[in-house]
Structure formats: structure tokens, C-alpha cells
Chains A and B, each alone.
Chain A
Amino acid sequence: MLRETKNIPQNIQSGLIVSLVALPLAFGLALASGVPPMAGILATVAGALLFSLLGSSRLIIAGPGNGLVVLSLYAVGVLGQGNPALGYSLLLGAILMSGLIILLMGLFRFGVLAELFPAAAIRGMLAAIGLIILSRQLHVLLGVDPQSSSAFGLLAEIGNSIDLIRNGNAPLAAWSLGLVSLALLFILPKIRFGPFQKIPGPMWVLALGIGYSYLSPHFAHWPQLPDSHLISLPPEILDAFTFPSFKAIGTGSFWTISLSLAFIAAVESLLSIKAIDKLDPEQRRSNANKDLRALGIATIGSSLIGGLNVVAVIARSSVNLNNGASSAWSNLFHGLFLVLFLALFSSQLEHIPLAVLAAILVHTGYKLTAPSQFRAMAELGRDELLLFIFTYLATLASNLIIGILSGMLVTLVYQLFSLKKRSYYLRSLFRPNVLLFEEQEHKYHLSVKTMSNFLNFIRLKKQMDTVDPQSELILDFSLAEYVDHSVLEHVQQYRHRFEAAGGSLETMGLDDLGQLSSHPLATRRPLKKGSSKRGKLTRRQKMLRLYASEHNFRFQYSEVEDDGRFKGFEYFQDKYLHLLRNRIECSNQNWLWADIHYEDTDFYGNALRHASMVYLPLPSETAPFVLDQERLLDRVAHLAGFKDINFERHPDFSKRFKLKGEDEKSIRNFFEGPLIPFLESHKQYHIECNGRALLIFAKERHTTVSETKQMVNFAEQLTEVLKP
């Protein structure tokens, strides 16, 4: 996909930034996989060169993935039987075989594989991987070599490792560097300060680690880092090449490892590709089969020179996307930059402390298994949460494959048992249940019958794929009796694709079905008699309702999709808007206060965020602008180049507020008059104008009840001020 030659300089720039994240991750992932650090670099380079050439996805970064760390470490142990060097070359054989399998999967169009698993099970497996990585790397971070190999055992050992530190058996420099790095990784993304936002956190801690180990020998009273706690690189890059060995090809474990590697790599890649497609500002659709073929070839190439599996990775891809990448050139260049770094700074890179790399991995692992993942599942209803936890525990107790397959099976059994006429539904899962026809020119009707869940979603997907997203599609579930969360989540992605392309996708027929939680994507099932559809209101909701009724506002707590009002703002351009919850509206004024759920991309993938914001339509059109304190301005990328607009007659206002916009003259016109005194005398909000309306919010989080009152009050008064 290097045919697109538009914006190459921009893509080189984002490639550079991605390579800054990729460098420490490549080292860290390789070390965590029990192989020499260069294996990660080789996989990155192979992925960058081959995937950018052969893949269809433009924004994906290919390289070593965190889903395979656990499996590779296990494989080195099993295949090498205590000899890490032998284990490594035998693992390369298995990786080559897995590359071949992935290539075949692509040829036989297995690109729908990721859709076959229930969403809760996939998330459960990923969270378990996160915990396994975290539990192991925590010890490395402390400078201790752990004994146990299972996640539970490793967690239990933490006390042991802390004792070792207390007794002085671990180097002080290693564990304190590790802990400081970990703290920095958590804190840095929260600081809204230019350099911290531009250069990713892992690079900062890497710089810290290298700096410390470089300087410490010159200061005798500093705690020293022994060489065994630094990474070791081969003196020449060419020495890093290792060739695969197929001595283990006759053993059963070789084949189970190859198959598992292929399976996990394919699922992780397909999920990443789908997630990044969702965020592509141009809404281009990747060909999953073609990407699988490219990844297969890249993996084969990587294994031939000693690299790990090449996977499409979400974290680096979203860094790529956030830094303005638009074509596969950035993937290519991130690999080239990596080679460049190695060639130029190989002696400096020798100074990377292992503890710092471990801190980066602990942070990555934590992101995957953080409590917020559990909370997100709980919002979907207790059934989804239980299935998630089941898969999570099953994966920890056995292995990844058994974990996800048992999660899938339990989900199916659970779904069938929540229905009557089980055998009928079970049979219906294996028979056609979708019908698509063109009602009129560019207007399609897609009807779904009986049960629609993760197992037969592929049928629905195939039909939806054939519809041109510029047309109108009606997705009719009125003949369906059960629609599960996985299906609704996929459908929502399709809706966004249709809307971005100028078409529309409407679902209907879900109203007659009940649901266990009030989340809009919660599983729909036949209503039981007398059961209420909605959960209880939280305290905040009750208070908001009370407040709204006191002021004759309308309070609604049902979740709805954004009707395009919020999506129209620059702030949401690179974000994925999920839904609005808890809305307060006034019948005679047009403002709307709402809790907004949206997805933001950060270095480690997509984070679900919540914020309370006010939408306020303007009486007449004006030029777009942003008004705020310094910190948030950088978030609105396209205004970065503009100057702060100041008003001579209002020095105080000019000092406190930063106002930016393209059309300075009309912005000045807009602000002259009563608006500036009004803004000066009120709490400072972030105000963004898209020409037709204002977006007002204080912080990127939910407001408390009293903050909400202030905000609503502000909106009301502002409406008065803005009246012509």
C-alpha cells in the first residue's frame, strides 16, 4: 500500500514518533518473551518493510505484539528444555510455521475470525494477558528473578520480592529506577504540557534510564547498576541474525505452539485492524484477508532472520494515527528509523536498564487489565461481566486458547439457557437467518430472524459488507428474538462507517426486547413478564433529576446516540463518540447538557472517557474559535499554528484567556460587547465554536451535581448574553 504518495513528509514525521515508542517496546517485548532483545527489533523491521508493502491497512503499525509474549515465553521454556538459546531457535521454527498458517488463513479468507468470538470473551482473554505480563514484569522491575511461572504464583511472590529488596539483595538503582519510571508512565500522559504530549511517555523513561546508567559510573556515591541489569546487544547488528531450527517439528508441542501463535497473532491483528479502521478519519476499509496474508509473509520473513511474530498492534497504530499518519509510509519509516537508531546509538542503547523496560511493560499490562475494563463490562450488564470474568479466570488457569474457547462455549450455553425452546434456537444458529434486498434504488432492507449472536454474526456481516455505505440501510430485528451484545457492537461500527460515508444505517425492531442493563449495546432478549427494563438510578442521577424538576428542565437518563450535534466539533474529530447519557434540556432554550461517553486514543490503545459538556446553538453563524486556558488548546490540533487573539480594551481578559481562530476579524466582532465582561466575571470554561454552536466544558470528566448546576447556569446566562 505504498502507492499513495500524498503527504509523505507528514507520514515520515509520524513514523519517527512511532519509532520512539516502538524502540523500547520492541526491546521490552522480546525480553519478556524470553528471547534476545534484538528479536523484537527484527520483527519490527520485518513488519515495517513487508507489511507496508503488502498489507491493505494504511494506518496499522506491524511489529511484535503483547498478546504473544506469554505464549513465546512458554514456548522457549518447553521447546528448549532449559536451554534458552536452543529454545529461541526452535521457537523461530514454530514462528515460521505460524507465519505459514497465517498466510493460509488469509488465502482461505479467515479474515472474519475475530468476529466469531463473543466480545466479552475476547476482552477477558486480553485482560488475562495483561495480568500475566504485569505479574511477571513487576518482579523484573524490582530487579528480582521470579521463580513461579503461573500468574497467580507470580502475584503471590510479590511479597517475597519485596523482602529481597528490604534485605538489600536487589540493586537499589534498578528497583528505584523501575518504580520512578512506572510512576512517570502513569503521570506523564496526565500532564498537559507541550513536550510531554508530543514525545510519548516510554521515550521519556527510556531517556531517564539511559541517562542514569550513563552518568552513574562517573559519580561514585550514586547507587550503581550492575551490567546484568542492563540489556545486552550484539556488537554488530548482523550478529543478531539467528536462523530457525526445525528439529522439534516432529513433536506435538511444536505444532500446538505454532497453531496457538498463529491463532493469537491473527486474532490480535484482526482486532487491531478493526479498531483502527473505526478511527480512520477517511473511513477507508481494510481488507482483513489481504492483511492476514501480508502478516503471514512478514512473520515468515521475520522468523528467517531471528525475529518474533509480526502482529498488527493497536497501541503503536493509535500513536501513528494521532500523529497525523495517513498512509503506509509511516509504517515503513518507523522501521527505517529504528534501524537508524541502532546504527547511530548502539552504544547508548546498551545502557538501557532492564527495570525501565519492565516498567513500560507493567504499564502496558496494567492498561489491559485495569479496573476500568471490568467497569466497562459491568455497564453492559451482569451477564457480560460474568462471562468476561469467566474467560479471564479460565485463561489464567489454563492457557489462552482454552481460555477463549471455553469463554465462547460458556457464552453460548448461557445464551441458550436464558431462552425457552433451546433446541430450536441452537438449530437456528446453523441455518441462514438473514435476508437482504434492495427496496428502492440505494435503499436496502436487511431483516434478521430468530437468534442473532456472535456465532452467526458472520452471515449478517457478509450481507452488510455488500451494501454500499453511501446508501440507506434498514437493519430490521423485528423477527429476531435474541440479539447479543457482540452483534450490537459490530452493528454500531457499521453505523459509523455508513454515516461517515454519507449513508445511514438504522436499526429497528429492538424495542420489544428486554435487556439486563440500560446500556444501548446490551444484549436484547425476550422480555420476562413483570421485569423492568431499566436499572436503578444512581444518586447523582436522582440529584440531577431533582435539580432539573426544580427548574422546569427536562432530565432524561436513557442512553442515546449522538444526533450529530456533538460530533460536529473539532474536539471530537479524532475521537469515537459512543453515546450520550443523562441529558438536561430546557424546553424554551436550545442548550443541552449531557454526559458524553467517547473513546480517545492514547499510547496504549483506546481509552473510554466520560465528560459532561454543554451544547449551545448560536443565534447566528460566526467564525470557528477556541477559548481556554493554555492547557487544553493543544488538544485541538488544527489551531496549533494560530496566534492568541488579544483585546486592547480588555487586558485582564486577554491575559487570562487564550483565544484562537482563523478568521480574526469576525471573532473580534463576536466577542466585542457584553460577552467579554460576562466571561470575565464567570468561571473559566473551555469553549469551542464550530460556527453554528458552542461546546462548553470544564474538565474532561463527569461533573459533580454542583458543577453541573454551575454549568447549566452558565449556559442559561450565556444564552441571554448572546441574544441579538
Chain B
Amino acid sequence: MGIGLSPSLIANIKEAARLCEHLANEIIFVHVGDGKTASREEIESQMQSFGEVQVPHQFLWLEGDISDSILKVCEEQKADLLMVGALPREGLLRYYMGSVARQLVRKSNCSIMLLTQPMRFPKAYRHIVVSGAKHPKTRDTIHKTLEVADALGTKLLHIVEEIAPDKKTSRAADDQEQARCNRWRHIIEEREQHRIKLALKEENPHNLEIENQVIFGKPGYSIGHFTQSSGAELLVLNSPDTKLGFMDRVFTHDLEYILSELPSDLLIVHSSDPKPLNA
């Protein structure tokens, strides 16, 4: 867990600790300072007033480049999950320069979780949205999501498949075109739902309602909007295939839409062994 001095510090730590009660064995808090400010003392005093963290934990106080140091720790400690706090909405300058959270997403080799609106009281992940994109990593992502959902007592899981609209599914200038486009949409929808059903067959979710939603819209954007409008607390995505660079922000696509405007907490699953969904 990367920490820094911010108003939401305690909330972030508490949130992380609570999640780790269910998910992890040990938590390492990493703070990267610049060696000048007395932020370490400040954090420690805040930690004391907050009380003891219930999970086995340790603190690491490092100095240097923030994202590089954190990523180094992750690698050395073979961390499964990196957590950081993030602002839900980025300003124009930060959008193009990149925040720490975004640098971490770009470079990280382990799964990463961005906490947006940490609260001092425990937040329940009642409703989770996960991407069901047709991709080798998806199977693993859904599997991990089910684990997380099970551990956190989630009630509803939405598996969202985004279909990029093309000529036959989006052109509807008159009644005939519209009817044709709807026919295509239904065919694709059934195909997608069948695919997800197959992928879920061997899983055994307890107490969990799983819903399938096919969305015809801009990939990457639609799932974020869906998460926001359905009021879900967590969005789970595959890790990006390529490292995102500056040009990806100039020509926004996929994950960048969500990173520039986080709809909820975001978990990016770094898949250890990608394999085709229907293998």
C-alpha cells in the first residue's frame, strides 16, 4: 500500500486494512518521502491516534522517485496487490502529465487497486462491475473478481461486455436500418452471453447474483459510465496489454477514459497466466 500525507490518509489506510482482513496475509505500507519534510512524524502521530491495524503489517520509509520506489518494493516483496488512493477526476494539466497513481497503473507488474472515495467507516462492496471482454485475460480476471466478491460479501456482480459499435450495429437512420441494427444486436448479445455462461460454468459463486450486460458503446468508456450510473462500488478490469504512453492520453481510448474519470474504486487485475476464455 502506497501512502502519502493527504486528508484521506487515515481513511485510505483503514480501508486497506479492512480489505486485507479478508484478502491478504500481510500488508506493507510504503511511504516515499523527499527527505526534507517531516511527513514521517506526522503520519506516525496520525497512525497512533487512529489505533492499531488489525492485520500483520510493516512500514517502509523510503526516499527517491515515488512510483519507482513503490514498484521496486512490489517486486522485491512479490506483492499480489498494490493499493493507492487516487483522485476521482483529474484536471487538464495532470491529465497530460500523469499522476502518481496513473504512473503506477502504467508500469506496475502486479494487480493494482485505486481507492477513490475512502470513508472512515467500512465501505461495503455490495455491487461490483467486471469487464467480460473477449480477451485471454478475462477468464482470470473474472475468477479473481469472484474470489474478491466472495470474500467481501458482495451481493451483485455485473459482468459487462462492451461491443464497439460498427456499421451493422449502429447505423439506424431510418426504420429499416434500425430494425436491421436491432437484429444484429440481439444476435451478438446472445452470442456474448453464451460465451460468458460457458466461462462461468465451473465457477461456484455462493450467495452471489450474477448479471450479464451487453453494452453497445465505446469500449472502455461505456463500462465506466455503467459503473457510475448503476452505483457500483468497485470496477474490475484486465490489465492493459501495452504500457500506456503519452499519446494514449492525447487520443483517449479504453482504460484512459476510466483513469481520467474514476467512476468508483478500480481494481486492475494483472493476470499471471492468460489463457483463452473458452479453452
Q: Are B228 and A449 in contact (CB under 8 A)?
A: yes
Give the Cβ gap from B173 to chain A, nearest Cβ, in Å: 5
Q: Are A432 and B229 in contact (CB under 8 A)?
A: no
Q: Are B178 and A435 in contact (CB under 8 A)?
A: no
Q: Are B257 and A285 in contact (CB under 8 A)?
A: no
- Report how far A286 CA is from B181 CA in the complex, Å: 16
The yes or no answer to B221 lying at the interface (CB within 8 A) is: yes
Give 14 new A-B contacts, CB below 8 A, not counting A436-B217, A468-B179: A290-B173, A290-B174, A424-B91, A432-B221, A435-B221, A435-B222, A437-B217, A449-B225, A449-B228, A462-B172, A465-B172, A466-B170, A466-B185, A468-B182
The yes or no answer to B277 lying at the interface (CB within 8 A) is: no
Residues of B close to A260: CB separation below 8 A: none
Nearest 7 interchain pairs by C-beta: A287-B174, A435-B225, A465-B172, A447-B229, A432-B221, A466-B172, A432-B218
Q: Are B226 and A285 in contact (CB under 8 A)?
A: no
Q: Are B182 and A447 in contact (CB under 8 A)?
A: no
13 contacts between A and B (CB under 8 A): A56-B174, A285-B175, A290-B173, A423-B92, A424-B89, A432-B218, A435-B221, A437-B226, A438-B214, A463-B217, A468-B182, A476-B229, A479-B229
- Report how far A284 CA is from B174 CA in the complex, Å: 9
Task: Give the nearest-CB partner of A431 in chain B.
Answer: B252
Interface 0/1 of A292-331, CB less than 8 Å to B: 0000000000000000000000000000000000000000
Q: Which of A418-438 contact B (CB under 8 A)?
A: 423-424, 427, 431-438
Task: Give the nearest-CB partner of B89 in chain A.
Answer: A424
Main secondary structure of the interface of A (DSSP, over half): mixed
The yes or no answer to B213 lying at the interface (CB within 8 A) is: yes
Give the Cβ gap from B70 to chain A, nearest Cβ, in Å: 29
- Report how far A201 CA is from B110 CA in the complex, Å: 79
Q: Which of B24-49 contact A (CB under 8 A)?
A: none
Residues of B close to A433: CB separation below 8 A: 225
Q: Are B92 and A462 in contact (CB under 8 A)?
A: no
> Beyond A447-B229, A449-B228, A468-B179, is A436–B216 a contact (Cβ under 8 Å)?
yes
The yes or no answer to A133 lying at the interface (CB within 8 A) is: no
- Report how far A463 CA is from B92 CA in the complex, Å: 28
The yes or no answer to A289 lying at the interface (CB within 8 A) is: yes
The yes or no answer to B215 lying at the interface (CB within 8 A) is: yes
The yes or no answer to A288 lying at the interface (CB within 8 A) is: yes
Residues of B close to A438: CB separation below 8 A: 189, 214
Give the Cβ gap from B81 to chain A, nearest Cβ, in Å: 29
Task: Give the nearest-CB partner of A501 in chain B.
Answer: B175
> Beyond A109-B173, A111-B173, A437-B215, is A465–B178 a contact (Cβ under 8 Å)?
yes
- Report how far A288 CA is from B173 CA in the complex, Å: 7
Q: Are B177 and A287 in contact (CB under 8 A)?
A: yes
- Report how far A466 CA is from B216 CA in the complex, Å: 10
Q: Which of A633-647 contact B (CB under 8 A)?
A: none
> Beyond A435-B226, A479-B228, is A465–B173 a contact (Cβ under 8 Å)?
yes
- Report how far A314 CA is from B230 CA in the complex, Å: 43
- Report how far A433 CA is from B229 CA in the complex, Å: 12
Interface residues of chain A, those whose CB is within 8 Å of chain B, are: 56, 109, 111, 284-290, 423-424, 427, 431-438, 445, 447, 449, 462-463, 465-466, 468, 476, 478-479
Which residue of A286, A289, A290, A447 is within 8 Å of B225 (Cβ)? A447
- Report how far A433 CA is from B222 CA in the complex, Å: 9
From A424, A462, A466, name the one whose CB has the most chain B CB atoms within 10 angstroms: A466
- Report how far A284 CA is from B175 CA in the complex, Å: 8
> Beyond A286-B174, A466-B178, is A431–B229 a contact (Cβ under 8 Å)?
no
- Report how far A509 CA is from B216 CA in the complex, Å: 23
- Report how far A479 CA is from B228 CA in the complex, Å: 9
Q: Which of B212-242 contact A (CB under 8 A)?
A: 213-218, 221-222, 225-226, 228-229
> Beyond A111-B173, A287-B173, is A437–B92 a contact (Cβ under 8 Å)?
no
- Report how far A438 CA is from B192 CA in the complex, Å: 14
Task: Give the nearest-CB partner of B216 in chain A.
Answer: A436
Interface 0/1 of B179-200, CB less than 8 Å to A: 1011001000100000000000
Q: Are B179 and A285 in contact (CB under 8 A)?
A: no
- Report how far A240 CA is from B181 CA in the complex, Å: 47
- Report how far A432 CA is from B172 CA in the complex, Å: 19
Residues of B close to A288: CB separation below 8 A: 173
Q: Are B229 and A462 in contact (CB under 8 A)?
A: no
Task: Give the nearest-CB partner of B95 in chain A.
Answer: A427
Residues of A close to B229: CB separation below 8 A: 435, 445, 447, 476, 478-479
Q: Are B221 and A289 in contact (CB under 8 A)?
A: no
Residues of A close to B257: CB separation below 8 A: 431-432
Residues of A close to B214: CB separation below 8 A: 437-438
Interface 0/1 of B239-279, CB less than 8 Å to A: 00000000000001000010000000000000000000000
Interface 0/1 of B109-126, CB less than 8 Å to A: 000000000000000000
Residues of A close to B179: CB separation below 8 A: 468
